[in-house]
Amino acid sequence: MQTLILDEQPDYFWSEVKANKIEDYFSIKLPPDQVEIVIIKTPTTVDQSFIARYPKLKMIIRSGSGYDNIDLKLTRKANIIVCNTPEANTIAAFEHTMAFIFAMIKQHQRSKKNVLQKKWKDELAWNYEINELTVLVVGLGRIGTKVAQALQLFGARVWAVDPYLSQKQWLEKKITRVSYDQGLKCANLISYHCPLTKETKNYFSDNTLNTLSHPAYLVNTARGPIVNEVSLKKGLNSGQIIAAGLDVYDSEPNPELTFGEYDNVYLTPHTGAYTQAAKIRLAKEVVTTWKSFVDGGEAISRVFSKND
C-alpha cells in the first residue's frame, strides 16, 4: 500500500524500511488520491480537512504513543484505522518518571544550591523515603503500570485510577483501584500517565487543590494540558504541592510558565523518550505495525475511540 511520510522520521526508520525491502511503498511526496497509509508524529493534526484530502486513506500510524492530535471520532466515521507505537517509549518514560521522583524526594536542586552557597543542611527539610509515600498513579497503561509496580517494590502504598481497564486487568496488575477524588484525598505523590482527552484536560486544576488532604509531590510526563499550569503555580505557592517534576507543558517548545524561579520544580524539555534505544524501538515498531496490516490485515496497537 502506498504510504506517505508526513513528518520527518529518523535515520533508524529508513534503515528499517530498507532492511525489510519495502522502500518502494514509502514516500515523502505522493498525490493525495494515491495515499492509503500515512505515518505521522505530533506536528500533524488529523481533522476533517485532513481526512478529506486523502480519499483512499485506510490507516494512520502515529509514530509515538500520544494521539491527541488525531480526531478519533472522525477517523472512526471514515473507517480509518489508527495505530500508535506504545511499546517504544515505555522504558525511557518510566525511568524518566522515577528519576523525577527520586530527585524531588531527595531535594537534589535545593541540596546542590546549599552546597554551592556553603549552607550545607541549613533550612533543608527532611528527605522522604519512598516507603513513606502514598501514590496515586493516574493512567495505568504500560508506563503507569511500571511506575506503580516499581514504587510498590520500594514499599510505597500505591493506588491507581483508569476507567478503561477491565476487572481482569486490575487483578493482573495487582494495583488497588480508586476513584480520582479518593486518591487525591490520600496521596502525597501524584503521577500522571493518562492520554490527553476532553476528560483529562486540566485534570489537575483548582478543584484538585481543593480536594487534596495532604501536601503532595506531582509528576507529569504525559501531556502538558493535563496539568493546569496556573493551578500548579497556586499549589506551589501555597505549599499544597511540595515539588513538581515536569517533562511536558501546555505550550511547547516555549512554555508560557517556566517555573524557573522554584527550587522545588524539576524541568526537562519533553525528553521522557529521549534515548537512542527508544528511537530504534520506535522505528522498528512503526515498520512492524505497517507490515502486520499490509501483509496480514492485522491492526496491532490499534487506538480506539470512546465509542468503539
Which is the catalytic residue, given 76, 142, 177, 270?
270
Instruction: Tell me whether residue 304 is in a domain.
Output: no
229 catalytic? Reply is no
Same domain flag for 236 and 284 = no
Same domain flag for 205 and 98 = yes
What's the chain's length in residues?
308
Instruction: Tell me whether residue 130 is in a domain.
Output: yes
pLDDT of amino acid 258 = 82
Q: Domain range holding 197?
A: 90-267
Within 13 Å and on the Cβ side, how many CA atoms surround 75? Answer: 28
pLDDT of amino acid 60 = 98
36 catalytic? Reply is no
Same domain flag for 78 and 119 = no
pLDDT of amino acid 111 = 97
Q: Rounded to whole angstroms, how far apart are CA atoms 196 and 228?
A: 12
Q: Rounded to whole angstroms, how far apart are CA atoms 10 and 104?
A: 33
pLDDT of amino acid 49 = 97
Number of domain units in the chain: 2
State pLDDT tens for residues 255-291: 987 899 999 999 999 999 999 999 999 999 999 999 9
Please spell the DSSP secondary structure of 286-304, one letter per residue.
HHHHHHHHHHH---TTB--
270 catalytic? Reply is yes
Instruction: Tell me whether residue 82 is in a domain.
Output: yes
pLDDT of amino acid 306 = 59
pLDDT of amino acid 220 = 98
Q: Which helix (H) or strand (E) holds 245?
A: strand 241-246
Same domain flag for 147 and 237 = yes
Average pLDDT along the chain, 308 residues, taken 10 residues at a time: 94 95 96 97 96 98 94 96 95 98 97 96 96 98 97 98 95 97 98 95 98 98 97 97 97 87 96 95 96 95 76
Q: Rounded to whole angstroms, how far apart are CA atoms 219 and 116?
A: 26
CATH number at residue 28: 3.40.50.720
Same domain flag for 220 and 241 = yes
Q: From residue 65, how far is each of 172, 224, 226, 255 by CA, in Å?
A: 23, 14, 16, 21
Q: What are phi and psi of 37, to 5 degrees?
A: -135, 140
Same domain flag for 220 and 291 = no
Instruction: Tell me whether residue 307 is in a domain.
Output: no
Q: Rounded to whole angstroms, how far apart are CA atoms 104 and 268?
A: 13
Q: What are phi and psi of 112, to 5 degrees?
A: -60, -45
- Write down the residue that cell numbers 531527595 correspond to: 106
Same domain flag for 76 and 143 = no
Query: Which long-range CB contacts under 8 A does 273-278 form with residues at least 24 apart?
Result: 273/64, 273/88, 273/89, 273/92, 273/93, 273/96, 274/92, 275/92, 277/91, 277/92, 278/88, 278/89, 278/91, 278/92
Same domain flag for 196 and 287 = no
The model's pTM: 0.92
Same domain flag for 287 and 208 = no
pLDDT of amino acid 37 = 98
pLDDT of amino acid 257 = 77
Which is the catalytic residue, given 193, 223, 281, 285?
223
Instruction: Tell me whether residue 306 is in a domain.
Output: no
